[in-house]
Amino acid sequence: MASVEIIGLKKNFGAVEVIHGVDLKIEDGEFVALVGPSGCGKSTLLRIISGLEPASAGEIRIDGNLVNHLNPRERNIAMVFQNYALYPHMSVAKNMGFNLKLSGMDRSEIDRKVKEVAKLLELDALLDRKPGQLSGGQRQRVAMGRAIVRDPAAFLFDEPLSNLDAKLRDQMRSEIKLLHQRVKTTSIYVTHDQIEAMTLADRVVILNGGNIEQAGRPIDLYNKPENLFVAAFIGTPSMNLIEATIVKTDTGLAAKMACGHMVPVTANHPNITENEEVIIGMRPEHFSADTSGVLLSGQTTLVEPTGAQTNITFELGGKPATAVLEGGFNIEVGQPLTVSIDPKKVHFFDKATGRRV
């Protein structure tokens, strides 16, 4: 296990720069998820860390040691890809020990290591089976076991679950989290799925166009997105983002939307000033059907019950907004919906810069 540090990392392909100077330190034992839209540079960053791709500028350090000049094997990092690439004709034990055998380790030592790791991963009863006789989750554990026996400094995952159907994906996601709790190997996990990133990682790094937008604990990204990109990216359904102007009222400042609705600016936003053009952010799940907060209303245009909750689209600030209400909530398209929100849960962003204010 080791820390992994990236300093001032840049990458160009020909004349095109795709990573623009990324700084990131992953602590020993930490699980970090790199998340962002397609083409933002996630795989490229991972490939550079692993040594499959050279950096154009900057440093990669493993446990403080510069590794830019080392090839993938010398970096001792294990990549886990979408398909686990197990050898179908070999037993679980042979699959797990294969790399050790290639490196010339003697049989009894390989046996000992494989047994030790198999026990850790609860694979000890399956060592004589072939991959075809295993479930998807067990196969994944074998693939990780094969990496763990080599004592890698870190695991790198590139969208390992993206080919699976939804149910298996959820199951495997839990398996990976349980594994990390057990083995604590430093892990960097690339995904474009924010739920996967949030549920798995100690820290989530949001990449956009080759730059880091924000890095932090999942709950901090959710509660305090630094800019509009992060605000829109984290959370499902997405945060409602509505243009408003700051006006003065009898009771202080408020954000006024095009539809006339106003949301008071609470004391935790001391920098907001009158006449400022802002974007206000309200999470769909922060709306409620009671009347305890600020009341907002608009015409219902879509009702989507999922069982546990009902997602309702309604007109707000001249645009469709989403509210997530309780499962049994009853409303018809065309009826006005009235919801309330705690003003302390409203986010404010500067309209010009997109930054949180």
Minimum CB–partner distance for residue 11 and ligand ATP (Å): 8
Q: Least separation, in Å, of the C-beta of 289 and ligand ATP?
A: 38
Distance (Å, whole) CA 314 – CA 45: 40
Judged by CB under 6 A, the residue of 8, 23, 25, 39 near ligand ATP is 39
Contacting residues for 84 by C-beta, under 8 A, at least 6 apart: 139, 140, 142, 143
C-alpha radius of gyration, the chain, whole number: 25
Between 43 and 301, CB nearer to Mg ion: 43
Min CB(46)–ligand ATP separation in Å: 8
Site for Mg ion, rule CB under 5 A: 43
C-alpha distance from residue 337 to each of 219, 240, 300, 321 (Å) = 29, 16, 6, 11
Which one of the spans 36-44, 163-171, 194-202, 243-251 is the region binding ligand ATP (CB under 6 A)? 36-44
Partner from Mg ion, ligand ATP, none binding residue 251, C-beta < 5-8 Å depending on class: none
Q: Is 192 in the site for ligand ATP (CB under 6 A)?
A: yes
Query: In terms of CB distance, is 43 or 288 closer to Mg ion?
Result: 43
Stretch that binds ligand ATP, among 38-46, 65-73, 121-129, 279-287 (CB under 6 A): 38-46
Closer to Mg ion by CB, 43 or 309: give it: 43
Residues 6+ apart with CB under 8 A from 38: 192
Query: From the list ligand ATP, Mg ion, none, which binds 318 (C-beta under 5 to 8 Å, kind-based)?
Result: none
d(CA 143, CA 150): 12
Which does residue 192 bind out of ligand ATP, Mg ion, none, counting CB within 5 to 8 angstroms by kind? ligand ATP
Which residues lie across from 184 on neighbouring strands?
none
**Measured from the CB of residue 67, what is the shortest distance to ligand ATP in angstroms?**
20
Which positions from 42 through 101 interact with ligand ATP, judged by CB under 6 A? 42-44
- What's the gap between Cα 166 and its chain centre? 17
Helices (H), the chain: 42-50, 72-75, 92-102, 107-120, 136-148, 166-183, 194-200, 218-223, 228-233
Q: List the single partner that 145 binds among ligand ATP, Mg ion, none, CB under 5 to 8 Å by kind.
A: none
Tokens of 125: 């009863």
Burial of 285 from C-beta contacts in 10 A (0-12 / 13-18 / 19+): middle
Binding region for ligand ATP (CB under 6 A): 13, 18, 36, 38-44, 192
